[in-house]
Structures are given as structure tokens and as C-alpha cells.
Amino acid sequence: MNTAQTTAARLLETSPIQDHRKLSDRVFESLRDGIINGRLKAGQWLRQETLAQELGVSQMPVREALERLVAEGLAVRIPYRGVQVVEFSAADIVDICTTRLLLEGLAARFAALVIDEATLARLRANLDEAERCLTQEDMPRRRELNDAFHLEIARASGRRYLLRLIQTLWGWFPTVLLYEGMVRQSDLLPARLERERQEHRAILRALEQHDPEQAEAETRRHIRNLSQELTEVLGISGDAVEPLRHL
């Protein structure tokens, strides 16, 4: 049995796919878990035919699962070659986080000037729910709420093209790796969630006060700290994100 077959067999052992849920969902979850816990390595090719054979399913659910992995930012599609588990170098982290810091900081500045009470109420409700998500099992929902919080602010800016850029960037930002990585490092989870809570609340306060400079500053601070956490989760030296501390 080759390496790919051995990996697929382990995925089946730890996450059997023959149950009541949609088959493509189970295949997706098996592959996603394999990437997050390191059984599927960064840069490894995900061959549709091989995975279908080893998981004992047709190629259709595997194809759907691979598309979802790409959409989640856990894999990339290389033209004419196939799908590959995503690789994030230190330079990639700096690149993505720098772009987020600049664009989302600007969006928060614009949003603070025009945000209405209905949007603020949605942001408050978002954080209230997120702060109740404290266990490892809650992390998928907390990640969804985190994404919604940031994109709601971008929409509130009223800048259509800025929003499009941010939405595109979020398609690449590995929030799945960040939150699932926090689960793997469970001893650090409470402190990281508390930091996130404080920083999100600080952004919200600045928006409530219609303070554009503070909204931008708090957003930038939050993303700087996210970049540090992401390097820890991925095992990259924290020195790699040093340039972000000067932006």
C-alpha cells in the first residue's frame, strides 16, 4: 500500500463515511480533518480517482468535496495539474495579513463615518453569540461568526469595490486553520478567545462612537495579533510577521 493509500485508509478508520449524512459532506469532513490534523501534508496532491477508490465512493462526492476544500482555502487548484493541499510560507502569511490590515482598516474607517444602528445591532448580536462559543465543538460556529463580523463591517463601509477586494481576500485567508489550530492547542484556547473578544469589542466601540481613526487602529491591531497566532498554529517563527508591527 503506497503513502496515499495508507493516508486514505487512516481517514476511513477515524472518520467512516457510511452514515445518514450526505456522502460528499462526509468525504469533505474526512479530507478537511486530514489537512487540519496533519495527516494530509502541505503540498500533497489530492487525486480524485485515488481518493474515490480508497474511500470506497464514486468520484462525484470526491469532486464536490475537493471544490469545497478549495473554497475553504484548505486546498488550491493548479491548472492542468489538479488539487493540492494549501501551503503557507512565512512570506504568504505576511502578504495576506498585510493586505487584510490595509484594506479592512480602511473599511472600518469608512464604516465608522456612516454605520447605522441596525448594523451596529447585528454586530452586537454577533459578538454576544460568539462569546458563548467557548468549547472545541463550538469553534466551527465561532469561525462563521468571526467571518460575518468582519464582512459586515466591510459592507457597512458603503464602498463596493473595497468590499469586493476584501471578499476575495477572505477566500484565501485560512480561518479554518486558525480556529481548528486553536483546538489542537487547547491549552492556549481560552486566552486566544479572550483576546479575540476584547479586540472585537474594541472595534465595535469605535464604530459605535463613529470614530474613524480608532476603528481603523483597532482593526489593524486585531489583524496584527491574528497574524502572530497564525504563525504559531502553522509552526512558523513569529519573527516572520515582524514587518506587520510597523504598519
Task: Work out the pLDDT band at 17, boundaries 50, 70, 90.
Answer: very low
Residues 6+ apart with CB under 8 A from 73: 86, 171, 172, 173, 174, 175, 176, 177
Stretch(es) of the chain classified as CATH 1.10.10.10:
3-85
Instruction: Please say if the pLDDT value at position 181 is more than 80.
Output: no
Mean pLDDT of 16-37: 72
Model pLDDT for residues 75-84, shown as the tens digit of each residue: 889 998 999 9
Task: Work out the pLDDT band at 153, boundaries 50, 70, 90.
Answer: very high
Spatial distance between the Cα atoms of 114 and 208, rounded to a whole number of angstroms: 10
Q: Where do runs of H (alpha helix) occur along 56-89?
A: 59-72
Task: Work out the pLDDT band at 5, boundaries 50, 70, 90.
Answer: very low
CATH value of 90-246 in 1.20.140.10, 3.40.630.30, 1.20.120.530, 1.10.340.30: 1.20.120.530
User: pLDDT at position 163, please?
Assistant: 95
Task: Work out the pLDDT band at 237, boundaries 50, 70, 90.
Answer: low
Task: Work out the pLDDT band at 1, boundaries 50, 70, 90.
Answer: very low
Helix axes 90-114, 139-156, angle to 10 degrees: 50
Mean pLDDT of 26-41: 80
Q: Which residues pair with 82 in a beta bridge?
A: 78
Instruction: Please say if the pLDDT value at position 9 is more than 60.
Output: no
Stretch(es) of the chain classified as CATH 1.20.120.530:
90-246
Spatial distance between the Cα atoms of 240 and 6, rounded to a whole number of angstroms: 34
CATH code for residues 3-85? 1.10.10.10
Instruction: Please say if the pLDDT value at position 185 is more than 70.
Output: no
Spatial distance between the Cα atoms of 187 and 219, rounded to a whole number of angstroms: 26
Instruction: Please say if the pLDDT value at position 205 is more than 70.
Output: yes
> Of 39, 46, 35, nearest to 77 (Cα)?
46
User: pLDDT at position 130, please?
Assistant: 96
Percent residues over pLDDT 70 in the chain: 77
Spatial distance between the Cα atoms of 224 and 220, rounded to a whole number of angstroms: 6
User: pLDDT at position 242, please?
Assistant: 64
Task: Work out the pLDDT band at 182, boundaries 50, 70, 90.
Answer: low
CB-based contact 108:156 (threshold 8 Å): no
Number of other CB atoms surrounding residue 235 within 10 Å: 8
Instruction: Please say if the pLDDT value at position 18 is more than 60.
Output: no
